[in-house]
Structure 1
Amino acid sequence: MEQVNTFGNYLKAKFGCRVYKVGINISGFTCPNIDGTVAKGGCTFCENDSFSASTGETQELKGFYLNLESKTNPNLDKQLAQLEMQFNAISKRQRQEYGAKKFLAYFQSFTNTYAPFETLKALYDRALSFDDVVGLSIGTRSDSITEETLDYLAELAKDKEIWIEFGIQSVYDETLQKINRGHDSANVKEWILKAKNRGLNVCGHLIFGLPDETKEMMLRTAKEAYSWGIDSVKYHPLYVVKKTALANDFIKGKFTPITEDEYLDVLVEAIKMKPKGMSVQRVTAGIDDNSLLSPEWCRDKNSQIRKINMALKSLGVKY
């Protein structure tokens, strides 16, 4: 049985040891789709706290938010302290529990290029200075990054493992409008190509089960994303959590989540058409607490992985 080219295997082959991503949540980072720059309220499926790294090591700087136009950052020292505290605590656990030897600092929560360049440079440089950090992975949106930041990351990439993670979600503009994304598919393609033209590694996030999308639409999104030259992919099913616009639609009967069988079907097809060298960072997602409204199958990740591997047998591969 052939192994799907996972991101962990890619990193182990490159660095010769276990390399783990350390999820970082820095106060002051938000999103142009939340602060009103391009839209209000965020994506319909987004409950703001649900995308925070589970750290518990630092306290939020309440009422403090940055954007691309911010002229000053009075809390940079506090952000740097947050970064160091979170990295030290999480990497220590990963060393003890999983035998991690090297790390990528993963700027995970919200939009991690949506701040003045000087702030970004200070945070990225500090993260790269920590012991055994071999690179960065930076989660962002295509409408929230600048040429200056890309140029700087390209310089870092000459010596470090640098990744940018873009939320693609769908290549259908009508879908992006339905989920209140705040930009179109052309914008995502433009900035992915800009990153690739600078030699940067790109991970694309795809969501299956978005409102009114068919299997054919989901697979076209995957095919288009692959054609843009992304190096790695994360597949997510769309699930419904409380305190979101999507939850309101679900309660009113206006949205029906993707079934597990439907998700397995489209996931297997998407992996089947994936370029062989492209790594996979995630094959599913979910949450097991009282914030989840639907679907119930998204509660048990272990069960999901077992069923995904059963479905992948048809391709002669396992995850």
Structure 2
Amino acid sequence: MEQIYTFGNYLKNKFGCKVYKVGVNISGFTCPNIDGTVAKGGCTFCENDSFSASTGETKDLKGFHLNLHSKSNPNLEKQLKQLEFQFNAISKRQREEYGAQKFLVYFQSFTNTYAPIETLKALYEKALSFPDVIGLSIGTRSDSITDETLDYLASLNKEKEIWIEFGIQSVFDETLEKINRGHTSENVKEWILKAKSKGLHVCGHLIFGLPDESKEMMLYTSKQAYMWGIDSVKYHPLYIVKKTALANDFLKGKFTPISEEDYIDILIKSLQMKPKNISVQRVTAGIDDDSLLAPQWCRDKKNQIKKINAALKPLKLKY
């Protein structure tokens, strides 16, 4: 039985110990698809309030948002303290519960390059100064990063492990328009290729089950993402949470979520066509609280993994 090449395998092979991602959420970061720069309201599946930081948030940071053209950041010191608070709390738990030895600080929620370069430098360098941190992983959008930021990250990459995570979602512009994404597939391709040309590591996020997409379309998205040279991949099923535009369509009977059987079928085929050098960071996603409307199978990730492994077994693979 061959194990699928995971991101954990990659980190263990490279650093020789248990490396864990520490997800941090910094108040003040938003998205050009929410603040009206490229669109309004965010992606149709995005519940904007769900992205507020869950630890270390201060009341006076609520309502404060940065963008690429912000002239100043009066709350930088508070953001730096928030970053330190979250890292210390999460890394301590990961050491105690999982035996973590090294860490990759993951700037997770919203668009983490969507701020002035001075703010980014301060936050990234603070994160890299923490004990046993070997690098960064930065979640962002392809329309929210500059050449200056890429060059800066490339300079950091000479000494540390620097990853950029781009939301690809789909390579079909008609789909991106339906979900109010605010950019084209060509824009994502351009910035992934730019990041790769500068020696940076790239993780691509793919969503299966987007409105009106066939299995063939979803598999084509996987194929194209692999061809663009991504180093790692996260696969997500599209699930529906309350207070979103997608929830409105679902409640009106205008959208039917992907079935568990179809999702697993597409996932397995995507994994089979994936080049072996591309690591896998996630094979499914979900949420188990009262915000989830559908599909109900997304509540139990452990059960999903069990079914995915059952589907992989005849192929002599396991996750």
- State the TM-score, normalized to the length of structure 2: 0.98
Correspondence 1:225 to 2:189? no
1:42-74 alpha-carbon deviations (Å, 9 max, x no partner): 000000133456x43333511110000001000
1:142-195 alpha-carbon deviations (Å, 9 max, x no partner): 000000000000011111110000000000000000000000000000000000
Query: Aligned partners of 1:29 and 1:52: how far apart in 2?
Result: 9
> For residue 290 of structure 1, what is the aligned residue in structure 2?
290
Structure 1 counterpart of 2:58, one-letter code = Q
What is the root-mean-square deviation in Å for CA atoms of aligned residues? Answer: 0.8
Cα distance, 1:316 vs. partner? 1.2
1:238-317 map, 5 Å: 238-317=238-317
Q: Is the 8 A contact 1:24 1:83 kept in 2?
A: yes
Q: Report the count of equivalent residues.
A: 318
1:99-178 map, 5 Å: 99-178=99-178
1:234-275 alpha-carbon deviations (Å, 9 max, x no partner): 000000000000000000000000000000000000000000
Query: Aligned partners of 2:5 and 2:280: how far apart in 1?
Result: 6
Query: Aligned partners of 1:95 and 1:317: how far apart in 2?
Result: 30
Q: Is the 8 A contact 1:106 1:138 kept in 2?
A: yes
Structure 2 counterpart of 1:187, one-letter code = N
SS of the equivalent of 2:27 reads coil
Query: Aligned partners of 1:187 and 1:318: how far apart in 2?
Result: 34
Query: Aligned partners of 2:28 and 2:95: how far apart in 1?
Result: 29
SS of the equivalent of 1:243 reads coil
Q: Is the 8 A contact 2:27 2:52 kept in 1?
A: no
Q: Is the 8 A contact 1:52 1:108 kept in 2?
A: no
Structure 2 counterpart of 1:56, one-letter code = T
With over 3 angstroms needed to count, the CA separation of the structure-2 counterparts of 1:221 and 1:20, relative to structure 1, is same
SS of the equivalent of 2:290 reads coil
Uncovered stretches (5+) of structure 1, i.e. residues with no partner: none
Q: Is the 8 A contact 2:102 2:134 kept in 1?
A: yes
> For residue 57 of structure 1, what is the aligned residue in structure 2?
56
Q: Is the 8 A contact 1:163 1:200 kept in 2?
A: yes
SS of the equivalent of 1:211 reads coil
1:89-146 alpha-carbon deviations (Å, 9 max, x no partner): 0000000011000000000000000000000000000000000000000000000000
Q: Is the 8 A contact 1:173 1:185 kept in 2?
A: yes
SS of the equivalent of 1:154 reads helix
- State the TM-score, normalized to the length of structure 1: 0.98
> For residue 87 of structure 1, what is the aligned residue in structure 2?
87
Query: Aligned partners of 1:172 and 1:106: how far apart in 2?
Result: 28
Q: Is the 8 A contact 1:173 1:184 kept in 2?
A: yes
